[in-house]
Structure 1
Amino acid sequence: MHDPTLWLFGICLVLGATVGLLAGLLGIGGGLLVVPALSVLLPQAGISNELVMPMALATSLASIVATSISSAYTHYRLGNAQPSVIKTLLPGILLGGFLGSALADHLPKAYLPKIFGVIVLLLALQMIMSLRVTKAAKPFPSPLQAAASGTVMGVVASLAGIGGGSLTVPYLNYYGIEMRKAIGTASLCGVFLALSGMTGFILFGLKQAEALPPYSVGYVYLPALLGIVTTSVITTRFGARLATRLPTPIIKRVFAIFLLLIGGSMFLS
């Protein structure tokens, strides 16, 4: 690997450590940090502007596969997951993840951060409001409705290069699933969503006209992926244990503040 690529790999080691901690704590796959970071770092490695956004999205989803597996396994061992809920969401999540990668390959790339920024800001506001108003838990939707919701969440998450925790956690919490179990369940859902979206980005990347840079598999950029995964799979375990020890209101506040910061930066970029 030439020097800019080695430099990128080193930076991604630090990025991965932060991503892993947040993945375990908040039930996210890390894309909320990885995509904005790679959109700045990839041009420094000589990647053309036309390829930066799809490669950032694809590499983010690929890193989420590893990060979410580690986080989901830890949450499962701690009892913070509900397999029955995952089964109802899974068909839609798989379909939506692939559809999102297809849309991302065709939509103007400049639209994606702003669309996602608005969605994230709305999710953060919803989470903040839920801290003040206590509502009776709603019955969980039917399998067909849950599959439809999973499809929508999968499309949006794949378009933004995230594991869907920022969508899945509030969704599950809205239907009365306790916050820790919502986070653990979202981690498991993120594995399948990221796999579906990553597969789409690899296939579409292999078919696009512009020559891809060295060390790429479709739109997935391996030096960045290896750097992120190397440290994130370690620190995600600490985040998952921290989520079990912290009170639910604190987790909600951290989650909401995190979404506000990232949503605002994405919208203004």
Structure 2
Amino acid sequence: MAETKTKTLVNQQTIEKKLSSRLTTNKLNKWAFFACTMIGLLFLAALIIDTLIKGAGHLTPSFFTSFSSSTPSMAGIKGALIGTIWLMVTIIPISIILGVGTAIYLEEYAKDNALTSFIKVCISNLAGVPSVVFGLLGLTIFVRGMGIEALALSNSVLAAALTMSLLILPVIIVASQEAIRSVPSPVREASYGLGGNKWQTIRRVVLPAAIPGILTGFILALSRALGETAPLILIGIPTVLLSLPSSVFDQFQALPMAIYNWAKLPQDEFQNVASAGIIVLLVILLLMNAIAIFLRNKYSKKY
């Protein structure tokens, strides 16, 4: 009995030592991760504060109603803002139809074989491809029409929207797949039991339940597209344009391109104008993210 008690006591002490060591390691990791988070937030706060200080003075009514100018005090974002809205409105139907349609096919219709798995892996890998690559692809296919003049769209709104849609499609497809996959099987089976066919089940049961995840992924992907500059530079979107587009086949100026143009100019005053443009772009992106959160919460409660 004495030996058994001694062994039990030794085991308890060993367990307590290991547990104490693990708790200490856990606390150290916790504070290390917290420190990393705070460092990132401090740098982000410093950048935002610096941008607000430099750009707040230029956020006047004339800044929103004037075109770009070689004089800093007269420079505005009217053309860039309207062009960005044209780009966003054109991207939305292209990317959401192709992205969600692809996700539905891969999750609901495609057979579970090696080819389908290969396609899914390729789509996931495309989400990590640099945006410059998509810019080169858009330049070759859409702007130059692969050497066929009849197919060339030049540096129009449609060419830029198609290029940006290629950029964000992998993200939308993956997010939509995850949202569709998260719908419980019993929900589908209940629809089939009530006499619904496959398409009716997808349209009336699966998609409504998957809408929060689909919308969240789509809006976040669209936010990324609106902030990208490299693809627009490669396809030749002008940095200065003193006119507004009247159709998707017209040239346009985008807000990231205007900011890029102001930031590279040597005059110090243009750096402040660029900061004002950054503030406007940040507000647009924050509004889109807020809409994504609102829609996610709304549909999550409903379904």
- The answer to whether the superposition gives a TM-score over 0.5 is no
TM-score (norm 2): 0.29
TM-score (norm 1): 0.32
| Structure with larger Rg | 2
Q: Which has the higher contact order (CA 8 A, sep 6+)?
A: 1
